[in-house]
Amino acid sequence: MTVRVTGFFLLLIAGVSLGQECAPKKYDTGIVCVCNVSYCDELPPLKKLDQPQYQVFTSNQDGLRLHRTNGTFQPYAFNLLNILNSLNTIQINKYERYQTIFGFGGAFTDAFGINLQSVEPALQEKVLSSYFSKSGIEYNVGRVPIGGTDFSTKGYSYDDSDTPDPSLSLFKLADEDYRYKLSYIRRARELNQELKLFASAWIAPKWMKTNHAFSGFGRVKDEYYQTWANYHKKFFDEYKKENITFWGVTTGNEPSLSMFGSNIPSNRFTIEEMKRWVGDHLGPTIRQSEYKDLKIMVLDDQRVFLPWFVDAVFSNETIKNYIDIVAVHWYWDDVILPFVLDLVHTKYPEKLLMGTEACVGDRVWEKGVELGSWQRGERYAFSVIQDIQHHFIGWTDWNMALDTKGGPTYINNNVDSPIIINSAAGEFYKQPMYYSLGHFSKFVPRGSVRIGITQKQFISSTAFLRPDQGVVVVLQNRGNFGHNIELVDSERGKISLSLGPHSLTTVVYY
C-alpha cells in the first residue's frame, strides 16, 4: 500500500489501527509532521509478529513516515537458478556477529531546554515523549554539556570568578541547569528507564585558560589540569545530588576548534596535552573516585584525527588503559573515508567506537534550518548505516530541538535539528531527520548485535539481532530510481521488497 501525502485524511484513514499518523505540512523544502497540544503522530510500540510474518516500516521523500505494513516470508531454495539470479538478493547472516549496540540519542543543550520552555507543558511533554517514550523513537542515550556551549544564550562556566579559584570554592551549577536541563533529563529517564548519559565540557573558567577566554586559541593552563579534573568530579557530585548519574565522560568537546581559534568555545589538547590530561589528571581522578566505572571517551572530535591521534595517545599503556571509548563526530565525514574507523577497531578491538555529535546546517552554504529537508534526513541515515557497518556502538545527535531560526546560540552558530519548535504557533515540526534516527533507535534496543548482510551498489544496508531474537534490517535507497530486491534469510525464506526512490526501510521479523 502506498499512501502519498495528498491530505491529512488519507493518512488518518490509512493509520486507523496504527496509532496517530503524521499531520503533514508541505514547504518548498519538504514535508514536516506537525504536532500541537491536541495532536501529534505516535509510533506504537513494536509488535512481535509470529513466523512466518514480517513487518516493514517505510519513510520516503514523498511523505511516508515510518509507515507500517506486513507480509509473509516466501520459500527460498538455494539452487543454481537462484544463485545465478542473485543480483537482487540481499542475504542476512545471523551467525556473522559484530559489535553490540549501546544506543541512539541526542543532547540536552540549553537551547533544547529553552525551546521546550517556550511552549506550554503539554507540548513539552509531547516533545519528550516523541524522543524517549514507547510511543516515540525510544532514545536511550543522552549527552549532557558540563556547563554552557555555543547553544546557550551566553558563555558561562560553573566557576566564573574574576580571580583564580584553584580550590573551586565558588563552584556551583548554573541557573541554566535548574531551568533548562535537570527536570527534562529526569522526565526523559522516566519515559525511558534505559536512558544512559554521558557528559562533555566545552567551557573552562577564563581564569584557568591561557588566553583568558572561553573560545579562541586557548587551553587550560598547565597548573590547572588537576583543577579541571576536580571540576569534572564536582559536576558529577552536583548532578548526583539531583539524582542524575552518568555512564560516560568525554575528554572534552572538539579540542581541535581551539587549534583553529574558532569562536565556538573549546579547550585545546594536542597529543602531548591529551596524554597528560588523561594519564595524570582525568584518568586517575575518575578511577579513584566513586565514579570509577564511568566510561572515559577520548577524542570527541572528527574522524580526521583517526587513527593517528589515538595511536599516539594509546602508545602509553597506562593512558590507553584509562580509555574505554573513542568518541567521533561526523562533520568531516565527506572527506575522510570510514576505513579509518576500521583501523582503530582492528588495532584496539577492546576500545569501542561511538558517534557523539552530528548536525546539519553547520556549513556556510547551507546554514540553519531547512524545514522538511529529505536530503538532510537521508544524510543522517546514510551516516548511521555507514558508521555502524564500521563498528560504532551508538550514534548521538546534537540539539534535540531548536527554534525556527536554528537557535538560540550566543555566537549565531545556527544549525538544524530533527525537531523544530515554533513557540509563536504553539506547535513543533518533526523533520525527516527525526524519522531517519527512529528507523534505528526504535527498533534496535541496547544489547542488539550487528549481524552479517550483503552490500549492494545502490542500497546501503545494515542488520541486527535483537536481544529478544528479532532480526532488524535497515535498507536505504538514496537514488532517483526504485530497486526491487529480495531479502533472504536462509532459515526463514525470502521477502520481496520494492525500495522506492529516496526511501528508508526497516524490516523486522522473528
Ligand X SMILES: *[C@@H]1O[C@H](CO)[C@@H](O)[C@H](O)[C@H]1NC(C)=O
> Cβ 245 to ligand X, closest distance in Å?
11
Instruction: Tell which residue, 221, 301, 218, has the closest CA to residue 258.
Output: 218
Instruction: Tell which residue, 467, 444, 456, has the closest CA to residue 497.
Output: 456
> Cβ 458 to ligand X, closest distance in Å?
28
> Cβ 70 to ligand X, closest distance in Å?
4
> Cβ 5 to ligand X, closest distance in Å?
13
Stretch that binds ligand X, among 36-44, 264-272, 291-299, 302-310 (CB under 6 A): 36-44
Residue 77: all three cell numbers together: 531454495
Binding mask 234-253 for ligand X (x = CB under 6 A): --------xx----------
Residues 306-325 interacting with ligand X (rule: CB under 6 A): 316, 318-319
Active site annotation includes 357 = yes
Stretch that binds ligand X, among 31-39, 251-259, 288-296, 491-499 (CB under 6 A): 31-39
Binding mask 264-293 for ligand X (x = CB under 6 A): ---------------xx-------------
> Cβ 26 to ligand X, closest distance in Å?
13
Whole-angstrom CA distances from 222 to 228, 268, 269 are 10, 12, 11
- Looking at beta carbons only, is 174 or 393 nearer to ligand X? 174
CB closest to ligand X, residue no:
279
Q: Cβ distance 130 to 419 under 8 Å?
A: yes
- For the chain, the C-alpha Rg in angstroms (whole number) is 23
Stretch that binds ligand X, among 30-38, 286-294, 428-436, 496-504 (CB under 6 A): 30-38
- Out of 42, 254, 378, 427, pick the active-site residue: 254
Q: Which of 352-365 are b and which e, b meaning 16 or more Cβ less than 10 Å from the residue's Cβ?
A: bbbbbbbbbbbeee
Show the beta-strand stretches assigned E in 350-422. Answer: 352-357, 392-399, 402-403, 419-422
> Cβ 309 to ligand X, closest distance in Å?
16
In the list 23, 204, 299, 421, the residue contacting ligand X (rule: CB under 6 A) is 23
- Looking at beta carbons only, is 269 or 380 nearer to ligand X? 269
- The secondary structure of 328-346, three-state, reads EECCCCCCCCCHHHHHHHH
Active site annotation includes 370 = no
- Looking at beta carbons only, is 206 or 219 nearer to ligand X? 219
- Looking at beta carbons only, is 36 or 100 nearer to ligand X? 36
Tell whether the torsion through CA atoms of 378, 387, 470 and 44 is positive or negative.
Answer: negative
- Out of 21, 138, 357, 378, pick the active-site residue: 357
- Looking at beta carbons only, is 238 or 366 nearer to ligand X? 238
- Looking at beta carbons only, is 34 or 188 nearer to ligand X? 34
DSSP 30-44: EEEEEEETTB----P
Angle between helices 182-191 and 110-117 (to 10 degrees): 80
CA dist 218 and 206 (Å) reads: 10
In the list 27, 39, 458, 481, the residue contacting ligand X (rule: CB under 6 A) is 39
Q: Cβ distance 32 to 429 under 8 Å?
A: yes
- Looking at beta carbons only, is 384 or 497 nearer to ligand X? 497
Q: Tell me: does residue 70 bind ligand X (CB under 6 A).
A: yes
Q: Cβ distance 234 to 177 under 8 Å?
A: no
Q: In sequence order, what are the residues at sequence separation of 6 or more whose Cβ sits closer than 8 angstroms to the Cβ of residue 36?
A: 123, 426, 427
> Cβ 401 to ligand X, closest distance in Å?
18
- Looking at beta carbons only, is 167 or 316 nearer to ligand X? 316
CA dist 414 and 419 (Å) reads: 14
Binding mask 318-357 for ligand X (x = CB under 6 A): xx--------------------------------------
CA dist 63 and 66 (Å) reads: 10
Peptide bond into 408 cis (omega under 30): yes
Peptide bond into 307 cis (omega under 30): yes
Q: Across-strand partners of 69?
A: 56
- Site size with ligand X, rule: CB under 6 A: 14
> Cβ 474 to ligand X, closest distance in Å?
20
> Cβ 49 to ligand X, closest distance in Å?
5
Hunting for cell 566564573 — which residue is that?
A: 160
In the list 16, 38, 87, 163, the residue contacting ligand X (rule: CB under 6 A) is 38
Binding site for ligand X (CB under 6 A): 23, 34, 36, 38-39, 49, 70, 242-243, 279-280, 316, 318-319
Give the catalytic positions in this structure: 254, 357
